[in-house]
Amino acid sequence: MNSHYSRSFAITLLIVVSFTARSAHGQNDTSVGEELTLDAVITLARERNQRLASAEAVVDAKKQLEPSAGLPPDPMFQIGARNLRLPDLTADMPNSMAPSLQIVQTFPFPGKLSLGKRIARQSTSISSADADETWWEVRTAVAAAFFEVYGADRQLEVMRVTLRLLHDFEAVARAMYGTGAGRQSDVLRANVEVSRMDTEIARMEAMRIGAAARLNALLDLRAATPVPSPQLPHLPQEVPDRDTLRDWAETSRPLIHGARTEVERARSRYDLARKQVWPDLAIGVHYGQRDVDDDTRRMASFLVGFNLPVFAGSRQLRMRDEAVALERVAEATLDETRAWVDARIEQLLADLDQGRTLINLYRKEILPEAGANVESAFSLYRIGDVDFLTLVDAQTTRNRFEQEYYQLLAQYGTDVAQLEMTVGRELPMAPALLAEVP
């Protein structure tokens, strides 16, 4: 009879403990509205991230050079004295001039200045594309850190529920062993499971601290700044097909836009290199004066000249060859970038499809079956058909599956952010969304 009453008391305690732990877990889920959102974090990163600020400053610097790119060279101004008598350097000779002033302005061959201005605008466009690409990289890194914190928090919730249950299982095992209804091995196994879960919680807490520190760094905050528990954002169950994504990437991805503009700039530089062999025009005005018999005589001269490309074979023509080679480099880089983006889209679509399949599998089959297995173990334990260890294994297995489920959700969210970066735009909201297990 004592053994029967001890077992009945233990069963009652286990049921109460399990209900209390599940209720506490459910209360954590109801506070989602007070948690950190991905949109808020991304907005803060847009305002504070220093890498992005640096990239935007480079664009501003490039823009400052555009106006001057279409201007001719600065005029050359000279002042001095001419035809002085030696050795005393006096200006008393008939052709002496003191002072002598001269100004010369060079006018590049037609088309050179317009090409230079075009190249400057293209350089600014490339820097702007680099800044936009930097933003997508920062945004993706922020999302990855956000989902890492999210996954760590949800797994910690599950682990702490498991730890509370294991502590209570240990207490029940000790009580049953004390009354002779249990075995010492049950107590030892419960102790081992409690120690293992303590270790797992400590490891996950350290991972959470590291992820929070990385998120704070991206937001230009101190590493120890508290990071609230993240709320799972809306994640689409379906994404556009690969052809649509490729078209979006071609038109929206800054990396491709920058590579395409690089090809255009290389062609502009080739056009400019072809014109370098043509001489630039120089126009000058000269003024001089000299004193003769107390009379000041003023003189003016005009000159027209041009540079002679006598080293064209070693200079201007080599510049043309260089431009041709750089154009080939730019075209190859553009092709490589398109191929890489296409491969990345294919990979992410496969990852998302696999993640979506596993999430639905866990939601519809694995987690319900694991929960049913725990309930079955309770029932069988009540009538003595299974031992205490089977009950503990059933509970720890269910919680392990719950942890894996939240890991899958976090990875799915990271993959969505990666896909948005790959195509250079946010994915449209889908009719069906992924959510946590209620």
pLDDT for 287 beyond 80: yes
297-340 pLDDT, tens digit per residue, is 788 889 999 988 888 888 888 999 999 999 999 999 999 999 99
What are the structure tokens assigned to 274, written together?
A: 């072809």
116 or 181, greater pLDDT: 116
Whole-number Å distance between alpha carbons of 404 and 409: 9
Cβ-contact 252, 425 below 8 angstroms: yes
Between these two residues, 112 and 96, which has the higher pLDDT value? 112
Residue type, 228: P
pLDDT at 106 over 80: yes
DSSP secondary structure letter of residue 188: H
In this predicted model, which residue has the larger pLDDT, 370 or 181?
370
Name the helix (H) or strand (E) containing 255: helix 254-275
Burial of 342 (C-beta count, 10 Å sphere; 0-12/13-18/19+): middle
- Closest by Cα among 255, 250, 289 to 80: 289
pLDDT exceeds cutoff 90 at 256: yes
% of the chain surpassing 90 pLDDT: 60
Confidence label for 6 from pLDDT (cuts 50, 70 and 90): very low
Encoded tokens for 172 = 């029940």
The more confident residue out of 31 and 326 is 326
- Are 363 and 408 contacting, i.e. CB atoms less than 8 angstroms apart? no
Q: 83's torsion region: left (phi>0), alpha (psi -120 to 50) or beta?
A: left
Residue by residue, DSSP assigns 323-338 as HHHHHHHHHHHHHHHH
DSSP 308: -
